Amino acid sequence: MALKRYAVIVAGGSGTRMGGSIAKQFMMLADKPILLRTVETFLSLSPSVELIIVVPAALRDHWKELCRERKLTFRHTLVTGGITRFHSVKNALKYVEPGALVAVHDGVRPFATKEFIESMYEVAEEKGAVIPVVKVSDSLRELDQNGSHPVNRDNYIAVQTPQVFRSDLLLKAYNKAYSPVFTDDASVVESIGEKVHFADGLATNIKITKPEDMVLARGLLTSF
């Protein structure tokens, strides 16, 4: 029997790098807010997932009003974000049961496809913990006290979401105290000695955080 599936959509940021008065997760991408596009992909999954959406306290009413205006009636749990991403995910995990699968995904990655997300759940059910990664194509330099020096880009990979885990691992990992080294969920899980497996990411699975990302996103939208 397949394990129950959860999806934690993390949209807890303020979006200060985007500028303007609208938080990045609520900026319009064509006719829909970015966050709604992300959520709708998860709603299309088969089997269905238990949806947990994390937003800042100041934007809870904004999300509720969006749902009312668009007559959105899908079932989900709305959770208030914390002071860091770690705390936001920890808040969401209060609504997750042991013996399940949990995908944690950035609310501002609206181009993760249905097939891609479903494949990540399947790998996690077998392996326990999986993250999508892509090779780095740009030249890289490392900064130090003497300036900078080139490094071999083949030794580096870029990490995306959704990151998917057996809930027992994730719940155990998030019992730890916060540390600045926790840059994503994989780093939290690895801190308790668990192995995280890699899967091929998607080049189009971009994270929209800066104004120039919106330009790219509008272009991608025409190809989906």
Q: What is the pLDDT of residues 73-101, one digit of tens each?
A: 999 999 999 999 999 999 999 999 999 99
Name all domains of the chain by residue range, CATH numbers in brackets. Answer: 4-221 (3.90.550.10)
How do 4-10 and 100-106 pair as beta strands?
Answer: parallel
> What is the C-alpha separation between 224 and 173, in angstroms, rounded?
36
Q: How confident is the model over 31-49, as a mean pLDDT?
A: 97
Whether 10 and 54 have beta carbons less than 8 Å apart is answered as yes
The answer to whether residue 37 scores a pLDDT higher than 90 is yes
State what percent of residues in the chain have pLDDT above 90. 92
Model confidence over 129-153: pLDDT tens digits?
Answer: 999 999 999 999 999 999 999 999 9
* Cα angle 182, 186, 188; round to 5: 45
The answer to whether residue 19 scores a pLDDT higher than 70 is no
DSSP assignment letter at 180: T
pLDDT at 222 (0 to 100)? 86
> What is the C-alpha separation between 120 and 171, in angstroms, rounded?
19
Q: How confident is the model over 166-174, as a mean pLDDT?
A: 98
Q: Quote the strand ranges of the chain, DSSP E.
A: 4-10, 28-29, 32-33, 50-55, 77-80, 100-106, 129-135, 140-144, 147-151, 157-159, 163-166, 197-200
> What is the C-alpha separation between 30 and 195, in angstroms, rounded?
40
Q: Mean pLDDT check: name the lowest of 69-78, 151-160, 215-224.
A: 215-224
61 sits in which H/E element: helix 60-69
pTM: 0.95
pLDDT at 70 (0 to 100)? 97
Model confidence over 173-205: pLDDT tens digits?
Answer: 999 999 999 999 999 999 999 999 999 999 999
Structure confidence at residue 223 as a pLDDT band (50, 70, 90): confident
Model confidence over 57-67: pLDDT tens digits?
Answer: 999 999 999 99
Q: Mean pLDDT check: name the lowest of 90-104, 121-135, 208-222.
A: 208-222
